[in-house]
Amino acid sequence: MSTTGLRSIAIFEASKGLVALLVSLGIHQLAGDSAKQVAEKLVTHLHLNPANHLPSIIIRAAGELNNSRLILLAFGALAYSIIRFIEAYGLWKEFRWVEWFALLSGAIYLPLEIYECFINTNLLSAVLLSVNLLIVCYLYNVLQNRHKTKNSQD
């Protein structure tokens, strides 16, 4: 039972790592270009009016990004992806310390996700909270069962 669940979580974590890696590479690619120009092209490509509130905020924020900030963001996304890949590998191999790490790294987001559901109730925030809660509860259950099994063997 725990192997299938842990491997499902491992695939989910590896997927998050892959997305973060792609974001990191995309940000790194942006470092060579003007982020403001890229944002303007994106807004135009999406047929949004650059004078509207949200597109103008995106363009203004992109204009404030310099190469050193972009590189720092790229390294942050790369570090996050490495952590997710290590977590995925460890869950796949059923390393106990990674199970604890995954439990804690999932649980740390719960207060923020609960807050987000109360402040900005929408389907995405509810789904994210539900998935994360399911993963945290499952990992807790796996660790509890291992603890009980270990104690009964002693």
Q: What is the average pLDDT across 57-84?
A: 84
Tell me which of 77, 93, 109 is where a domain ends: 93
More confident residue, 150 or 53: 53
Maximum separation of any 2 CA atoms in the chain, in Å: 69
Q: What is the pLDDT of residue 154?
A: 58
Range of the domain at 84: 1-93
Tell me which of 93, 111, 137 is where a domain ends: 93
The answer to whether residues 70 and 41 belong to one domain is: yes
Mean pLDDT of all residues belonging to the chain: 86
Between the two ends of the chain, the Cα-to-Cα distance in Å is 23
The answer to whether residues 53 and 78 belong to one domain is: yes
More confident residue, 153 or 140: 140
Q: What is the number of domains present in the chain?
A: 2
